[in-house]
Amino acid sequence: MFGEKLKELRKQANISQAQLASMLNVGQSTIAMWEKGKNRPEYSSLLKISEIFSVGTDFLTGQSSKTAHSIPVLGYVRAGVPTEAVEEVIDYEDLVLPEKEVKSFFALRIKGDSMAPRMMEGDTVIVKKQAEFTSGDICVAMVGSSDATVKKIIKKDTGIILMPLNSNYDPLFFTPDEVESAPVTIIGKVVELRAKI
């Protein structure tokens, strides 16, 4: 069971729940919930845990069905003003996933600097295809029929904001009517950043 393995690894490494929470950028209560088996981490957090304790994700989850798969890097996505999203395979990234989940993921190459310093031009983001998001998630959003951009998505009662991390760029605000008419569509949530060195 994941929670038991996490607790055992944490204690063996003499790391407190608070320390592990800080390493993973989550709350201590989140670690406690994981260890009690009341919740499971997202894939990006699972990867970080495996790196911290130098174990495979298979060991943590007990799912030996996970193997490395090559997922396509589909062209460039603008981290700035929206730009046309071209689904042209320019590269591949390896990702450890169950076979049944492979088609749920794709990767995009970052162009522009509106998400700097967290995401820089040339970096690659791993994206899970989903329309659902929580306010504050970093997602790939389609604006109109062919424009894509990576932004932090903020939900408001009055609409949604596509928020850059670089203060040199202005947020893009859309009312509910504009979300429908543009339309603004969330095509996926960024679950991992692979930085260019």
Indicate which residues carry an active-site annotation: 114, 151
Q: At residue 43, what are phi and psi to the nearest 5 degrees?
A: -60, -40
Find the angle CA(99)-CA(60)-CA(189) to the nearest 5 degrees.
55
User: What are the residues whose beta carbons fall under 8 Å from the beta carbon of 17, sequence distance 6 or more?
Assistant: 10, 28, 31, 32, 35
**Tokens 């700097």 map to which residue?**
116
Which tokens belong to 96? Answer: 């450890």
Q: Contact 3/37 with Cβ under 8 angstroms?
A: yes
Q: Contact 61/97 with Cβ under 8 angstroms?
A: no
Q: Contact 21/27 with Cβ under 8 angstroms?
A: yes
Residue 89: helix, strand or coil by DSSP? strand
Q: What is the largest CA-CA distance in the chain?
A: 55
